[in-house]
Amino acid sequence: MKFFYIPYSPWSIQAKWVLDHHQIAYKPIEFVPMISNAQLRLASGQWFGKITAPTLIDGSQVWADSYDIARHADAIGSHDTLFPEGQTNAIHDWNERTHEIKDLSRRWVTAATMQSPDALAASLPPLVPRPARKPLRHVATVGCHYIARKYEFDAAEAERTMDQLRSALTYLRDNLDKDYLLGQFSYADVVAASSFNLFAPVDNKHIRLLDPIRNAWTREDLIEEFSDLIEWRDSIFEKHYKVRA
């Protein structure tokens, strides 16, 4: 199986989490926005319409959404299920609700990246040699505009949606009075714990991020305001996130 993913992106993190939880074998292929489009279209046969990462491909079968990948991985996996019986609707609901956190923080992170020459230079694909990075950073700016267009937001207006992000985080906080959202570890915790990476990146030992990118993305005011959620996220990663061997 081929797994196209963006290592630092919440949607990719949550799908990969389930594949790795079940120790499912796959070939990881890093997806670079804009640049990897042709490769993913070719591999998946999705010639038209929007393509996104993560996408899992097994022969002619394609799972083009993190939730579908998670369901499939959980169905074929042999470790403890992350979709306990009777909780699928609640999990689906958390998937939708935490999508809002990810979507809103994507706006902020796109704007923050555009304002940081160092983060732009570091965002270029690994094959770009170090001395060429700073001069070529405008290519990364084009990539940021591409993301904003594709996901229909105006990066210049991102800050105005931060109260919406605070409300979504507060809703999560109000429902998190114990260790797990649904009483035991499930995909609901996976999607929630994966949600903060675009304003409070998780420790490098779990998901590596270059320093200039990490610095630009780290939003201290939100981290302080929602320190309880971040602590919870860190404990969930510590207990349940297994880096693929």
Ligand X SMILES: N[C@@H](CCC(=O)N[C@@H](CS)C(=O)NCC(=O)O)C(=O)O
What single-letter amino acid sits at 131?
P
Interface with ligand X in residues 121-150 (CB under 6 A): 150
> In the complex with ligand X, which residue's Cβ is closer, 72 or 106?
106
> Interface with ligand X includes 11 (CB under 6 A)?
yes
> In the complex with ligand X, which residue's Cβ is closer, 106 or 233?
106
Looking at 6-14, 122-130, 188-196, 220-228, which segment touches ligand X (CB under 6 A)?
Answer: 6-14
Please, what is the minimum distance in Å from the beta carbon of residue 197 to ligand X?
A: 10
> Interface with ligand X includes 222 (CB under 6 A)?
no
Please, what is the minimum distance in Å from the beta carbon of residue 178 to ligand X?
A: 26
Task: Kindly state the helix (H) or strand (E) to which residue 143 belongs, with its residue range.
Answer: helix 137-150
Interface with ligand X in residues 60-119 (CB under 6 A): 65-67, 106
> In the complex with ligand X, which residue's Cβ is closer, 24 or 144?
144
Q: How far is CA 70 from CA 76, 97, 146, 151, in A?
A: 10, 16, 27, 22
> In the complex with ligand X, which residue's Cβ is closer, 50 or 130?
50
Tokens of 146: 């591409």
How many residues bind ligand X, per CB under 6 A?
12
Chain centre distance of CA 103 = 10
Q: Does residue 192 contact residue 172 with C-beta atoms inside 8 Å?
A: yes
| Crossing angle of helices 88-114 and 162-174, rounded to 10° | 150
- Name the residue among 28, 30, 39, 26 with its Cα closest to residue 9: 30
Q: How far is CA 7 from CA 13, 17, 51, 108, in A?
A: 7, 11, 17, 18
For residue 228, count CB atoms less than 10 angstroms from its CB and return exposed for 0-12, middle for 13-18, buried for 19 or more: exposed
> Interface with ligand X includes 6 (CB under 6 A)?
yes
> In the complex with ligand X, which residue's Cβ is closer, 151 or 239?
151
> In the complex with ligand X, which residue's Cβ is closer, 66 or 235?
66
Please, what is the minimum distance in Å from the beta carbon of residue 3 to ligand X?
A: 12
Among 7, 28, 33, 77, binds ligand X (CB under 6 A): 33
**Contact residues for ligand X (CB under 6 A)?**
6, 9, 11, 33, 52-54, 65-67, 106, 150
